[in-house]
Amino acid sequence: MIVTGLAVAAAAWGVLMGVSPVLQIRRMVRQRSSRDVSIGYFAILLVGFLLWLSYGVAARNLVLIVPNAVALLIGASTIAVALRLGQRTGGPDPAAAGCDNGPRAVARTDPGNAPGEHR
């Protein structure tokens, strides 16, 4: 009875851990950039999830299959979103929005400013 309870609790927590990268996906989509994401880190996790999933299938153990399948799908989605967004600086592209005050804008100096001082 205790072993079954622990197995269910571990599997449920495993699913929550597997879903947690959705927070990273949300942040990447909001920032429109994946520059703060280590794709290598998620790739290493994917290999681990795949190995544990394979072991769970071979052992016919749902406690291993379910959380690792969820984690594998979400991890693959995280990598896909990161690769799609690329290493942009984040935020909407001012050039695409028709604005001319994006990163290319030049700081204007006031004649009363010291040399090199910008407002």
Domain with residue 53: its CATH number is: 1.20.1280.290
Whether residue 74 is contained in a domain is answered as yes
Whether residue 119 is contained in a domain is answered as no
Amino acid 96: pLDDT: 46
pLDDT per residue, tens digit, the chain (119 aa), is 899 899 889 888 988 988 999 999 999 999 999 988 899 999 999 999 999 999 999 999 998 999 999 999 999 999 999 999 987 665 555 444 444 444 544 444 445 555 555 54
Q: Which residues of 22-61 are buried (b: 16+ CB within 10 A; e: fewer)?
A: eebbeebeeeebbeebeeeebeebbeebbebbeebeeeee
Whether residue 29 is contained in a domain is answered as yes
Q: What is the sign, positive or negative, of the torsion defined by CA atoms of 80, 82, 83, 84?
A: positive
Whether residue 94 is contained in a domain is answered as no
Whether residue 108 is contained in a domain is answered as no
Whether residue 90 is contained in a domain is answered as no
Give the domain extent around 53: 15-85
Q: How many domains does the chain have?
A: 1
Burial group, residue 105, by CB count within 10 angstroms (0-12, 13-18, 19+): exposed
**Predicted model pTM:** 0.65
Whether residue 60 is contained in a domain is answered as yes
Whether residue 73 is contained in a domain is answered as yes
Tokens describing residue 47: 């290999």
Q: Cα–Cα distance between 81 and 102 in angstroms, integer?
A: 24
